Amino acid sequence: MKLSTVNLLLLGTAAGLFSLLAMDESQEQAKIERAIEHQPALTALDPNAIRTIRLNNPDSGDIVLQKTGSGWQMKAPVNIAADLVQIADLLAIAGRETRGSVDIGAVRLADLGLKPAQHTITLDDTVIAIGAIEPLKRSRYVMKVGTLPDRQIRLVDDFPIEAFDSDFTDLVNKALLPYDAVMTRIDLPKLSLSLNAITGKWQTEPADGAASADAISRLVDAWHTVRAVATMPPMIDSSANDSADVTVTLDGGQRLAYRIVDKAGARFLQRLDLPISYQFAPADCERLLKLDNADRSAQRTPTSP
């Protein structure tokens, strides 16, 4: 074979290799671009426009939440303010990007955790079934159900599932009092405070000269501002007829009664009329239950002359 022919063959082979490499690189680039581009959202719902959320779990009663003028409120299984952070986690499913789809006729729904669904969420009239996790890409199977003409099972990036489960206490607001609550009395284990209807000032009962007005104000403010670390089911068996360690009376006459529970190295205030426990950081619990008579003015950093 002539040298010129060999050279031509070598050049042709090199050109072919370069062409394959360029094609592979182009395909890889296209794959990357497809992976990072925005995918269609699961629904066209505007989360801000949603007014009702209903959660259904197998062998459990529905959890119902409604948007009101003062924020989101749980209506079932109990009537109490809902936690806005957890509500945002629930609403986020409406706009989650899909990562692919599966034809509903090509699979067994039970194999994907969709019959029965592991969790079901209804956003106004849109029903979404939440299934198992796809093992390769760690995506979760979800499906719009009901009267919607959607025959596809969608894949979305996995997300925290705790807010969707049957434990409604995760969704309870971490504040002890309703948003617009006005207290008139606080009964603690070794202290009672009442709001004087004439002067509008808080006072101890019986009157305690050692209790400064600032200390009383700080304790009252704590009941409005302190938030629980977590809300969870009751720590101990109790009923509404049990004697309360702490009672807060609101201006409408409603009484919120709590038991103080120390368990597993943590302190809880457990509602006696509702199956809810509030866990607090130790310092916050002190602020709720005891007067702090420390002179705050003495603790301020002196200013330079």
pLDDT class for 187, splitting at 50, 70, 90?
Answer: very high
pLDDT at site 56 = 97
Higher-pLDDT residue of 122 and 41 is: 122
Query: Cα 2 from chain centroid?
Result: 77
pLDDT of 157 strictly over 90: yes
pLDDT class for 294, splitting at 50, 70, 90?
Answer: low
pLDDT class for 17, splitting at 50, 70, 90?
Answer: low
Token representation of residue 255: 């009484």
**What mean pLDDT comes out for the span 43-67?**
96
pLDDT at site 18 = 58
Burial class from Cβ neighbours inside 10 Å (0-12, 13-18, 19+) for residue 46 reads: exposed
| pLDDT tens for each residue of 88-109 | 999 999 999 998 888 888 899 9
**Residues 159 and 90: beta-carbon distance below 8 Å:** no
Higher-pLDDT residue of 14 and 111 is: 111
pLDDT of 281 strictly over 70: yes
pLDDT at site 42 = 92
Whole-structure pTM value: 0.80
| Segment (H or E) for 6 | helix 3-36
Specify the long-range contacts of residues 7-14, CB closer than 8 Å, at least 24 apart. Answer: none
pLDDT at site 305 = 41
pLDDT at site 27 = 62
pLDDT of 22 strictly over 90: no
Domain ranges of the chain: 47-171, 183-295
pLDDT at site 242 = 85
**Mean pLDDT over each residue of the chain, to the nearest integer:** 86
pLDDT at site 298 = 42
Percentage of residues in the chain with pLDDT exceeding 90?
67
pLDDT of 214 strictly over 90: yes
pLDDT of 110 strictly over 90: yes
Specify the long-range contacts of residues 43-50, CB closer than 8 Å, at least 24 apart. Answer: 43/94, 43/95, 43/123, 43/126, 43/128, 43/144, 45/94, 45/95, 45/123, 45/124, 45/126, 47/91, 47/92, 47/94, 47/95, 50/91, 50/94, 50/123, 50/124
pLDDT of 21 strictly over 60: no
**What mean pLDDT comes out for the span 120-147?**
91
